[in-house]
A = this chain, B = another copy of it.
Amino acid sequence: MNGLPVSWGAPRPERADAARNRAQLLATARQMLTESGPDQLTMDALAERSGLGKGTVFRRFGTRAGIFQGLLDEVERGLQEQVLSGPPPLGPGAPPVDRLVAYGRARVRWLMQNTEIARFALDGRQPVPGGSQTPVSQMHIRMLLRHMDLGGLNVDVLAIQLTAALDGPLLLYLSTDALTNAGPQVEQNLGAAWQDLVERVCRP
């Protein structure tokens, strides 16, 4: 055998320069985003401002939406940490239902702070929006559902549906207008409605 800490699924670690460039690109992208908005964030401009070639940008992110996915991914880690090792009820230690409610509220807040990026991360050709390649949200919800007693329910599908009920409103159905004008109101409503939904679905 070999002495490497190899997991056969992860084909190969990123080369050092590649990693450096990815970081560089993300940093520049974020900067351009806050300076002049998402519409100005073109692949050409990003390449030039990073001092890199256009080919590099596409190799790293594949598509324009990919850049926004990368940005989202980065930001999502904060939420992930709170979920994995923060204080309850968001973190471990509380009953599953409470954690699910807390997670929904946190995710809504997070998504509202990143709606613009998340919208641009959508890509009709390829599904799986809202951040990392493995839909963290969905996995977490599924895990929590597994720890409840829900009769013969199909937990896997339910997890997908709940993920959609959480992200969908902000990604697909609410106008940017409503979001900017009635922001806090919307957050309250979605949060409360999520709690109602979860409690109704999960009661015995």
Residues of chain A at the chain B interface (Cβ within 8 Å) = 65, 119-125, 127-129, 135, 138, 153-154, 157-158, 160-169, 171-176, 189-190, 192-194, 196-197, 200-201
> Could you tell me if A138 and B173 are in contact, using CB atoms closer than 8 angstroms?
yes
- A183: min CB distance to chain B, Å: 15
- Could you tell me the distance between the alpha carbons of A120 and B127 in the complex, rounded to whole angstroms? 11
Knowing A65-B124, A200-B201, A201-B200, the reply to whether A135 touches B168 (Cβ < 8 A) is no
Of the candidates B122, B123, B153, B165, the one whose C-beta lies within 8 Å of that of A162 is B165
> Interface majority SS on A: helix, strand, loop or mixed?
helix
Q: Which residues of B contact A158 (CB under 8 A)?
A: 193, 196-197
- A202: min CB distance to chain B, Å: 8
Closest-by-CB residue of B relative to A190 is B157
Copies in the assembly, this chain:
2
Of the candidates B124, B165, B176, B200, the one whose C-beta lies within 8 Å of that of A165 is B165
- Could you tell me the distance between the alpha carbons of A16 and B135 in the complex, rounded to whole angstroms? 48
Q: Which residues of B contact A173 (CB under 8 A)?
A: 127-128, 135, 138, 160, 163-164
- Could you tell me the distance between the alpha carbons of A164 and B153 in the complex, rounded to whole angstroms? 19
Q: Which residues of B contact A129 (CB under 8 A)?
A: 172
Q: Which residues of B contact A157 (CB under 8 A)?
A: 169, 189-190, 192-193
> Could you tell me if B193 and A161 are in contact, using CB atoms closer than 8 angstroms?
yes
Smallest CB-CB A-B distances: 6 pairs? A164-B168, A157-B193, A161-B165, A122-B124, A165-B165, A168-B168
Knowing A127-B176, A163-B168, A164-B173, the reply to whether A153 touches B201 (Cβ < 8 A) is no
Q: Which residues of B contact A135 (CB under 8 A)?
A: 173
Q: Which residues of B contact A161 (CB under 8 A)?
A: 165, 168-169, 193-194, 197
Q: Which residues of B contact A194 (CB under 8 A)?
A: 161
Q: Which residues of B contact A201 (CB under 8 A)?
A: 197, 200-201
- A63: min CB distance to chain B, Å: 12
